[in-house]
Structure 1
Amino acid sequence: MDQKTVLITGCSEGGIGDALAKSFHKKGFRVFASARNTAKVQHLKELGLEIVQLDVTDETSIKQAVSTVKAATGGYLDILVNNSGSGYSMPLLDSDVSVAKKMFDVNFFAVVTVTQAFAPLLIASQGTIINIGSVLGKAPFPWHGYYNASKAAVALLTDQMRLEFSPWKVRAILVTTGAVKTRLLENLPNAPHLPENSLYYPAKDEIEPAMAGALVEKSAVDVDSYAEVVVKNAIRSSPKKHLWSGAGALMTWLASTFGWSTIWDTVLPPIAHLPIITNKIRSAEKVGQDHQKTK
């Protein structure tokens, strides 16, 4: 086949998958843009891209998506982009493990199951797997612990894939993504809030905006510019196996590559306003202690 093919998960309008789909399309790829809700990718259909319904956590949906692509291409897929993702912002002390498990299903386990399903098509074309990771998989930014852990798992998983797929010359690329301007925060059903019994509640005015991504938005790069970097690397004859792109990516790479093992204990507290948060918590605790003494 002369025209290269790519399937991208999580292409809802305004997100990273959407931008990647349009960028690959501009480069002449036959793009299969997938989403759990296809109503959110109709704008891509109007541009000439092919739409595939795909819920990455549903086995039946995955099998149907593979059948659709296999029939359309004759059994080949050049690039699979595992982009679908879910977020969960909450201090670990206040977190709900059941919610975290659902997030891991999307962010981690689905990367494996989707890749397994499309593996025959990738092997047939000696193709490429691209997993969209995050700088938060390298830096333990507070209040996003489970999300950070899921992206750290994806980073190791990508290296694992590259080794295990090497007999068939299938490549695996990790994109460690910094801050990117998308509609992710706009699409959240509710802004995250601390429970009133949280030990962090006295500092909620500092923590809740950080949970909602306010600190990230300030420095985020344009999503289309980010997508161009990712696609340009993907189509090189010898692409970078670890690609860093987005605001904060270079700083995170430098710190994680050349810094000492606990460098984030020094770097992150001022960025995350931890000294201010600590002072507010301690002040509230002191007020509570003083109140108890006067009783």
Structure 2
Amino acid sequence: MVTGASTGIGAATARELAARGFHVLAGVRRNTDADALRAANLEPIMLDITEEAGIAALVQRITDDPERRRLGALVNNAGMGVNAPLETYPLSEWRRLFDVNLFGHVAMMQALLPALIESRGSIVNISSIGGKVAMAAYGPYAATKFALEAVSDALRREVGPLGVRVVVVEPGAVTTGMLGRVNVSGQRIIDEMTAEQRDRYGALMQAVISQAQASVPGGAPPEEAARVIADAITSRRPQTRYTVGRSTALVVRLIRIMSDRMLDKLLANNLKPYLPKRSPA
């Protein structure tokens, strides 16, 4: 079962697993995405992970499988991204973000764990480098990923003795639709700020948008993430965490040894070239 399979990492993972001979249930939210994905070994499932009825229907589909196949793996990939300074992001939006990026995954794991315990299967939670370091204007998104990392650690220790493997995959810059939408969503955040907030954070947001756009050409293709995920599922003894992207593993190593102040300075220096140039007085 792969959630968020309409595009990007989810779609690539569904196709990779199908190519390796698995029958894949691919969660999508639109009929057009289902039609684009449907292929041999690939069965699109209409699914919103924040809706209990859809998850219950999925459990019934797995329980009543006509081929009596067992559920071997759950890939929690569905999610949404946002860039916003903490002060400017409405609390209602925080709750929506956590519903999608955390509580929806928890709901999926609770619903499918009985089947995965029976099959001694795997859970792969797609986190992010944002689950390790929270950059300026990434606070809401990073908060959901930090939380997903904690849930994954606890779950691994709970169900490992029952034979279920729990793996976290931490992509960095990946050339997906989410990365490409930073400009649109970021500009919306700027437009919705008050004048005072725009004065405080407008330049920061413009820099974050420019930095994200600059990372697109050097980003890892979603197929690279898909291969990492599929390898983790098929490994007899997978790692507890995998990174995706050339620079992601380096960043993870750096944050283990750098002080908070050193990391603050490094991140600020990396962002500085993207700050809008001030007009001379």
**Alignment TM-score > 0.5, same fold:** yes
- Counterpart mapping for 1:71-82 below 5 A: 71-72=64-65, 74=68, 76-82=70-76
**SS state at 1:8 partner:** coil
- Give, in angstroms, the shift of residue 25 of structure 1: 1.1
Q: Name the structure 2 match of 1:182.
A: 176
Residue 90 of structure 2 aligns with an amino acid whose one-letter code is D
Match of 1:210 among 208, 211, 230: 208
- Counterpart mapping for 1:156-195 below 5 A: 156-186=150-180, 190-193=184-187, 194=190, 195=193
**SS state at 2:243 partner:** strand
**Structure-2 separation of matches of 1:60 and 1:209:** 41
Is there any run of 5+ residues in structure 1 with no aligned partner, and where?
A: 1-6, 288-295
Query: Whose RCO is larger (CA < 8 A, sep 6+)?
Result: 2
Q: Is the 8 A contact 2:224 2:244 kept in 1?
A: no
Two-structure CA RMSD over aligned residues (Å): 2.6
Residue 201 of structure 1 aligns with an amino acid whose one-letter code is D
Residue 241 of structure 1 aligns with an amino acid whose one-letter code is T
Q: Would you say 1:52 and 2:45 are equivalent positions? A: yes
Query: TM-score normalised to the size of structure 1?
Result: 0.84
**Structure-2 separation of matches of 1:94 and 1:209:** 16
Q: Would you say 1:268 and 2:267 are equivalent positions? A: yes
Q: Is the 8 A contact 1:209 1:215 kept in 2?
A: no
Q: Name the structure 1 match of 2:111.
A: 117
Q: Would you say 1:42 and 2:41 are equivalent positions? A: no
Runs of 4+ in 1 over 6 A off after TM superposition: none
- Give, in angstroms, the shift of residue 155 of structure 1: 0.8
Is there any run of 5+ residues in structure 2 with no aligned partner, and where?
A: none
Q: Is the 8 A contact 2:22 2:41 kept in 1?
A: no
Answer 1 or 2: which has greater helix percent: 2
- Give, in angstroms, the shift of residue 23 of structure 1: 0.8
- Give, in angstroms, the shift of residue 32 of structure 1: 0.8
Instruction: Give me the identity figure in percent.
Output: 27
**Structure-2 separation of matches of 1:167 and 1:184:** 36
Q: Is the 8 A contact 2:208 2:274 kept in 1?
A: no
Q: Name the structure 2 match of 1:290.
A: none
Q: Is the 8 A contact 1:30 1:49 kept in 2?
A: yes
- Give, in angstroms, the shift of residue 166 of structure 1: 2.4
Q: Which has the larger radius of gyration?
A: 1
